[in-house]
Amino acid sequence: MIIAYIDPGTGSIILQIIAGGVVGTLFVIKLYWRRFKAMSARLLKFFSGRSKE
Amino acid sequence: MNIPNDNSFRDPCGFIFMRSENMLTRLIRPYYGRHYEQLFSSGLYDDLTGDGLLIPHLEIPVEQSDTEQYGDIYKLIQPEVIPLVSYPYEWSFSQLKAAALATLTIQKKALSKGMTLKDAPAHNIQFKGCQPLLIDSLSFEIYQPGDVWKAYGQFCRNFLGPLLLMNHDYRLSEIMLYEMDGAPLDLTSKLLPRGSWLSFGALLHIHLHAKALKVCKSGGSATAKRRNNSLNSLLGLIDSLESLISRLKWKIPATEWADYYNNNNYSANALSAKEQLVDSLLARLPAGMAWDFGANDGRFSELAARRGCYTVAMDIDPVAVENNFIRHRDSASMLPLRIDLRNPSPGNGWNGRERLSLFERGPADTGMALALIHHLAISNNVPFLKIAQCFASACKNLIIEFIPKSDSMVQKLLSSRQDIFSNYDQQTFEADFSKFFTIHAVNRVAGSERTIYLMKKIQD
């Protein structure tokens, strides 16, 4: 059952659907970029640790 | 007759009422049951209450008499009580920003547990001291895959728009006082400077949003009713709002009171003597609720908070309130609010009672009015009798400072105007306040001409 008691506003819904593609893509890129940076940092740490050995 | 509270009647899923004196209770209707179960089974309730983002509650048994009075009941819950309810038009920039970010954090956590916020009015967030938390446990519903965020428009009207407006000119926060569901986006779009069109976030969430609302004014279209929004789009929307709001930094205006403690006539010794004196008077009063009028950045309010009072530090100056909030960001017992005592928050909304006036939220156990009387009596032409009457309706005990005409700060106020205040003297002050209070202590502040009184309200 839908229980929203406020009017979401047709314009707000349409804007979300249209803009969702853009902000959603940016969000996914940001997510993968963060993962890539974290992985690179881990690899860097790993290799710098090995070179010291 | 038992009816819902004057500020809890819009959501048919349940309402708040006083089950007995001092027993705030929330009633939940059966058709919300599925969503309530999900709040617990998903771990969202524990997660949010653990992080201090949602008000905790206890379930209480439903009696036969409750069902007879209120009809079908799924559950009755007793939420923890917030010491003082405040409203967005009383918050500083950073308070509204903290409330906005708390709402977005809650929405992200809800989505990760298969739920979503079905509403996002600013007043659903309240402050326990300086810590924002959601007080409406019925704000969640089960997330339907493909759905949009129904509260997106409400979030933009209640948080994003007012924050951008305050950043442009802090006086625009007063729109929140007149618009019950937040600043209309078309008005926000008109009031913001042209440069805001160059910010991607402001362009999307305010300007284009306002245009979309205008174009689609005629009602629901088939597109709007279709559910084809991906979860990543929804998370992207939240992320976009969050990064825009996180980056907002208030361009602090130069105000009269922002630097008060570096621009007054107290010597360091006199200020320290005043602190000791106020602290010794506070020690004679029971801990409870303290309202510090003209608190500035909360220097003296801190004394009350340290004595165990839940202290509401009120000031007219938005920068002083902002500084106070930032200084006490981790406090659970100090609530800074922007209050103009010359025109305190009125009751408004439905029946004039949906949002309570300042004085309806009192009286406080202790009132403090330090270095304030001359501003009320001389700058604002309010007679002592009227000031005493006002404080008598606001608090049961009063610590108040009298500042004589000979004081340089009073002389400064009189320098640009005719002195029409022939009754501004200590005898008249004592005589007029004695009509509402009994005077229990009179102490001269060492190293100054000022006097601090401890008064107790005469019982009605």
Which pLDDT tens digit goes with each residue over B204-214? 999 999 999 99
Asked if B56 and B153 sit in the same domain, the reply is no
Interchain CB distance below 8 Å, A14 and B212: yes
pLDDT of residue B416: 85
Of B298 and B253, the one with more pLDDT: B298
What is the DSSP track for B214-266? HHTTT---HHHH-----HHHHHHHHHHHHHHHHH--------SSTTGGGSSS-
Q: Give the pLDDT mean for B227-236.
A: 88
Asked if B67 and B214 sit in the same domain, the reply is no
Asked if B21 and B101 sit in the same domain, the reply is no
Asked if B275 and B396 sit in the same domain, the reply is yes
Give the phi and the psi of residue B300 in degrees, each rounded to 5: -85, -25
Confirm or reject contact between B119 and chain A (CB < 8 A).
Answer: yes
Is B2 a member of any domain? no
- Enumerate the residues of chain A whose CB falls inside 8 A of the CB of residue B215: 11
Is B252 a member of any domain? no
CA-to-CA distance for B157 and B30, rounded, in angstroms? 31
State the smallest CA–CA distance between residue A44 and chain B in angstroms.
Answer: 29
Is B426 a member of any domain? yes
Tell me the residues of chain B between 349 and 368 that have a Cβ less than 8 Å away from chain A.
none
Range in B179-188, B215-224, B371-380, B416-425 the model is least confident about: B215-224
Q: Give the pLDDT mean for B432-444.
A: 96
- Enumerate the residues of chain A whose CB falls inside 8 A of the CB of residue B141: 2-4
State the smallest CA–CA distance between residue B118 and chain A in angstroms.
Answer: 6
- Enumerate the residues of chain A whose CB falls inside 8 A of the CB of residue B207: none
Is B5 a member of any domain? no
Confirm or reject contact between B10 and chain A (CB < 8 A).
Answer: yes
Query: Does residue B19 register a pLDDT over 90?
Result: no
Q: Which residue has the tokens 């005043």?
A: B274
Domain that holds residue B178: 88-247
pLDDT of residue B259: 65
Closest to A5 (Cβ–Cβ): which among B11, B34, B239? B11
Asked if B383 and B346 sit in the same domain, the reply is yes
Interchain CB distance below 8 Å, A24 and B233: yes
Give the CATH number of the domain where residue B188 resides.
Answer: 1.10.510
Interchain CB distance below 8 Å, A27 and B240: yes
Query: Does residue B262 register a pLDDT over 90?
Result: no
Burial B145-169 (b: 16+ CB within 10 A, else e): eebbbbbbbbbbbbbbbbbbbbbbe
Asked if B37 and B95 sit in the same domain, the reply is no
**Residue B292, beta-bridge partner list:** B313, B368
pLDDT of residue B99: 98
Domain C-terminal end among B192, B225, B247 = B247
Q: What is the pLDDT of residues B80-110, one digit of tens each?
A: 999 999 999 999 999 999 999 999 999 999 9
Query: Does residue B219 register a pLDDT over 70?
Result: no
Mean pLDDT of chain B: 92
Asked if B353 and B419 sit in the same domain, the reply is yes
State the smallest CA–CA distance between residue B319 and chain A in angstroms.
Answer: 34
Pick the closest to residue B369 from B400, B393, B335 (CA basis).
Answer: B400
pLDDT of residue B22: 78
Of B216 and B432, the one with more pLDDT: B432
Nearest chain A alpha carbon to B212: A11
B148, B160, B228, best to mutate vs chain A, most A CBs in 10 Å = B148
Instruction: Kindly indicate the confidence band of residue B435, based on its pLDDT and cuts at 50, 70 and 90.
Output: very high
Domain C-terminal end among B247, B273, B303 = B247
Closest to A16 (Cβ–Cβ): which among B148, B232, B235? B148
Asked if B100 and B143 sit in the same domain, the reply is yes
Asked if B111 and B142 sit in the same domain, the reply is yes
Closest to A4 (Cβ–Cβ): which among B118, B212, B232? B118
Is B152 a member of any domain? yes
Give the CATH number of the domain where residue B315 resides.
Answer: 3.40.50.150
Tell me the residues of chain B between 181 and 220 that have a Cβ less than 8 Å away from chain A.
204, 208-209, 211-217, 219-220
Q: What is the pLDDT of residues B53-69, one digit of tens each?
A: 999 999 999 999 889 98
Is B3 a member of any domain? no
- Tell me the residues of A at the B interface, defined by beta carbons under 8 Å apart: 1-6, 8-17, 19-28, 30
Tell me the residues of chain B between 167 and 186 that have a Cβ less than 8 Å away from chain A.
none
Tokens representing A6 are: 């406020």
State the smallest CA–CA distance between residue B157 and chain A in angstroms.
Answer: 11
Domain C-terminal end among B201, B216, B247 = B247
Q: Provide the domain count of chain B.
A: 3
State the smallest CA–CA distance between residue A41 and chain B in angstroms.
Answer: 24
pLDDT of residue B240: 96
Asked if B215 and B364 sit in the same domain, the reply is no
Instruction: Kindly indicate the confidence band of residue A48, based on its pLDDT and cuts at 50, 70 and 90.
Output: confident
Query: Does residue B228 register a pLDDT over 80?
Result: no
CA-to-CA distance for B346 and B352, rounded, in angstroms? 8
Asked if B163 and B272 sit in the same domain, the reply is no
CA-to-CA distance for B320 and B295, rounded, in angstroms? 8
Is B7 a member of any domain? no
The H or E element spanning position B276 is helix B268-283
Interchain CB distance below 8 Å, A16 and B221: no
- Enumerate the residues of chain B whose CB falls inside 8 A of the CB of residue A25: 236
* Torsion, Cα of A30, A31, A34, A36 (10° steps): -110
Asked if B118 and B174 sit in the same domain, the reply is yes
Query: Does residue A3 register a pLDDT over 70?
Result: no
Is B387 a member of any domain? yes
Query: Does residue B117 register a pLDDT over 80?
Result: yes
